[in-house]
Amino acid sequence: MIGLSQKFKEGSKQNRSLLIGFITAGDPSLEITPKLANAMVKGGVDVIELGIPFSDPIADGPTIQSSSTRSLLKGTTPKNILEMSKNIVNDLKVPVVLLTYYNTIMNMGVENFLDLAHKSNIAGVVSPDLPPEEGENYRNLARERSIDTIFLASPATNNERLDRIIDSTSGFLYMVSLFGVTGARDIFDNYSSNAAKRIVQRVNKRVPVAIGFGISKPEHVSHFTNIGVDGIIVGSAFIKIIENNLNDTKTMLEQINNLSRELSNSTTIN
């Protein structure tokens, strides 16, 4: 299995940022999710981030909320997703990261969840509502199973707390690019760019930095790549394609592949 650390080192040697593609597992079905991942990777996505659907999210905008609803209505469960994830890792040879709210982990039992994740070759887990101050026990259990614990920072994170997050996170630091929830944006305010520059400078290569929320276009990818972030996370733009083609899987996969290629072509540092 290729870990996140190795993948980011490969990106650095190639003078580019990694493209991390997010989709909600089970949307539009568990059978189609691996096909979506395959289309993304063939288009240039370096890391697959799979969302475990949750009924009451705190960080997701309308697009991702709708995808979670569609997935839950199909009967998708965390165990289903973990079983499917192993096939994605084995077939595509890319790191798979899970995004899940901590309620799901607690409901399954922390060690049980992590044991299943380890068996499925999951590279890392993002839990938006788990702060580093409360995550030491979970982080230690995950480390024992070679699973990275990825914490988030935002433009509002001050330097003192940012240092704590840097010391706690592994795999990468997930930088939230803006104030608010997920969802594609047309433009980014200056505060997003300034915050990215500050966080990249503060991290100072201690851990890779990947930025997400709102990024949906090649020009967004190029902009943040050249600020110096190590990874670009795109989610809602992919999910919008799924939503618009629920009855046409062929077109869905073609458009997912095309978007992946367009975004990947913008990840080279100029």
DSSP state of 17: P
Q: Are 152 and 138 in contact (CB under 8 A)?
A: no
Q: Are 195 and 158 in contact (CB under 8 A)?
A: no
Whole-angstrom Cα distance, residue 45 to residue 54?
24
Whole-angstrom Cα distance, residue 104 to residue 106?
5
Closest by CA to 176, choosing from 229, 218, 124, 123, is: 229
Q: Is 60 a catalytic residue?
A: yes
Q: Are 189 and 214 in contact (CB under 8 A)?
A: no
Place of tokens 């982080």: 139
The encoded tokens of residue 7 equal: 């993948």
DSSP state of 53: P
Which residue among the candidates 60, 148, 167, 186 is catalytic per the annotation? 60
Whole-angstrom Cα distance, residue 210 to residue 151?
11
Which residue among the candidates 27, 46, 49, 230 is catalytic per the annotation? 49
Q: Is 243 a catalytic residue?
A: no
Q: Which residues are catalytic?
A: 49, 60
